[in-house]
Structure 1
Amino acid sequence: MGETFFTSKDAAKITGCTLRQLQYWREKGVIVPMVSATGTGRSVYYSRSELVELAVMVYLLSVGLTFESASGVLQQLRELEPNFAKENSQRRLMLVFDTSEGILKLKDFERESAIAFLDRGEAIIPLWLEQIHQQLNQTLPIN
């Protein structure tokens, strides 16, 4: 059985992105789907893995990150957990601000560590991959 692909319109509907966001992210190289030249136009198709990446971007933007920060975090996630988009990852992570580098960094979620950050007045942003996969599975069309 082959992999299922989704049109840009489907991807937008499933993830809550706008078509313009998808196009912009594609142009910026953040999430680059398969582009097929057909006839006089071209068709864009997203894999399920790319839908997971889109859902991560939507989540990161929804918690207030800028596009640059969100795309940087997505890249960190790809490096930290290479198969996060291909599997139903159960990994729980958190974003914290690394003052030495001046950037948001992904770390494994540990309750005690999260509380310590909060006690110091430092914000954390949870990133629970299992929830992203669950939400995406709920919006995917049933075949």
Structure 2
Amino acid sequence: MSEKFFSSKEASEITGCSLRQLQYWRERGVVVPPISATGTGRSIYYSRSELAELAVMEYWLSVGLSFEVAARALQALKHKAPDFSDPVVQKRFMLVWDRKEKDFRLEEFEREDAIASLDQGQPVIPVWLDWIHQQLAVRLDKPTVK
């Protein structure tokens, strides 16, 4: 079975990211799909794995994280769970504010730890990969996306 790839326009429609965001993220090295030189131009195609990366970035930006924090969090996620873009991965994580480092750190989601952090006045931002994969699957099943 061969892997399906998606054009920038399709990736934009599936993930809700603008074409400009996709270009900016490529330029900044955050989500970089392979570029093939075909014909007279360049073709950029995103794999299912890269769609998951885009969806995570879009989610973190939608909850108010800055681009820089979201990009660092995505790199941390790739490090902690290199298989996170696989739809069967059901892991849940959270970004927790680290007062010493004055930055967010990525941890596996533990309800008690999240509540304890909230009780201490520290922000907690969950990222549930099962939900992200479910949303991607719904969008991939839409008839407008080929």
TM-score interval w.r.t. the shorter chain?
over 0.9
Q: With structure 2 as the length reference, what TM-score do the two structures score?
A: 0.94
| Residues 99-108 or 6-15, more deviating | 99-108
Distance in structure 2 (CA, Å) of the matches to 1:42 and 1:58: 25
Q: How far 1:99 moved relative to its partner?
A: 1.4
Q: Percent identity?
A: 60
Q: Which residue of 2 aligns with 1:101?
A: 101
Code of the residue aligned with 1:2 in structure 2: it is S
Q: Which residue of 2 aligns with 1:134?
A: 134
For each residue in 1:11-33, what CA deviation from the matched residue of structure 2 results, as whole angstroms up to 9, or x when unmatched? 00000000000000001110001
Q: How far 1:120 moved relative to its partner?
A: 1.1
Give the count of matched residue pairs: 143
| Residues 50-59 or 114-123, more deviating | 114-123
* Structure 1: gaps of 5 or more residues: none
For each residue in 1:28-60, what CA deviation from the matched residue of structure 2 results, as whole angstroms up to 9, or x when unmatched? 110001111112111100000000000000000
Q: Which residue of 1 aligns with 2:21?
A: 21
Q: Which residue of 2 aligns with 1:121?
A: 121
Code of the residue aligned with 2:74 in structure 1: it is L
* Structure 2: gaps of 5 or more residues: none
Q: How far 1:103 moved relative to its partner?
A: 1.4
| Residues 13-22 or 35-44, more deviating | 35-44
Q: Which residue of 1 aligns with 2:83?
A: 83
Q: How far 1:91 moved relative to its partner?
A: 0.7
Distance in structure 1 (CA, Å) of the matches to 2:124 and 2:82: 22
Q: How far 1:123 moved relative to its partner?
A: 1.1
For each residue in 1:64-120, what CA deviation from the matched residue of structure 2 results, as whole angstroms up to 9, or x when unmatched? 000000000000000000100124211111110111222111111111111111111
Is the contact between residue 96 and residue 106 of structure 2 (CA under 8 Å) also seen in structure 1?
Answer: yes
Superposition misfits of 4+ residues, deviation over 4 angstroms: none
Q: RMSD in angstroms over aligned alpha carbons?
A: 1.2
Code of the residue aligned with 1:14 in structure 2: it is I
Q: Which residue of 2 aligns with 1:12?
A: 12
Is the contact between residue 87 and residue 130 of structure 2 (CA under 8 Å) also seen in structure 1?
Answer: no
